[in-house]
Each structure stands twice: as structure tokens, then as C-alpha cells.
Amino acid sequence: MKHPRSCCPVACTLDLIGDKWTLLIVRDLLLGRAHFREFSASPERIATNILTDRLTRLVEAELVEKFRSPEQPGRDAYRLTEKGTTLGPVVQSIKKWGLEHIKGTSARMKPK
């Protein structure tokens, strides 16, 4: 983060992962997705320019690393770093809260 708006850890964390899309990308990474087309195929239908921006931000923040895909030669893939993996319990807590408090929600996405 270049210039945090405050020293508050909640504000700084939200500056990094608090937008509409970033934790959904982290969710997909936790579920084993690794390729751009897999992220863009998620049910939320993230626009490709936003997906590119969020992946770049996650790489810059060292939450995600980009590497050459062994499954798709000539293509890049993404995976969570050790630091990024620590967001797993955060995503699980949000999922649990949503299932308990938002009528009509369900956890349908399965690991790859």
C-alpha cells in the first residue's frame, strides 16, 4: 500500500481487500482456480479489466503470485502466497455469516 489513509488496521485491510471483487478472487483461488478464464467464468461475472486490475493488486501486495501455467503452455496462472492463504479463515467467516444471516444464500461453488 502506497499511502494508507490511516494507521487503523481495519481501514488498511479494507483498502487492500475491501472492494467488491478482491475476496471473490481469493475465494476462487482457495477453491483451486488458477487461470484468468476460470476467474472470469465465476457466477459473479467480473469484467476482464477489473479482474486484471485486482490480480495485479493482489500480486503487488504479495498475496498472490503469478507463474507460468504447466497445464496451459504460454499462459499465466495464479496461486495464493503463504500470506494470501491466511485470508482463508476470513473468507470462511464471511461465508458462515452469510449462510446464517442472509436468506436464500447457499455455498454451491465446489473446489476444483
Per DSSP, 104 falls in state T
Is residue 46 over pLDDT 60? yes
- The C-alpha cell at 93 is 467467516
Per DSSP, 105 falls in state -
Tell me what pLDDT residue 87 has: 98
Tell me what pLDDT residue 111 has: 84
Domains of the chain: 9-101 (1.10.10.10)
Confidence band, pLDDT 50/70/90 cuts, at residue 66: very high
The pTM of the full predicted model, rounded to 2 decimals, is: 0.91
- Within 8 A by CB and 6+ apart from 111, the residues are 31, 32
SS3 content of the chain, % helix, strand, coil (to 5): 50, 10, 45
Q: How far apart are CA 89 and CA 64, in angstroms?
A: 16
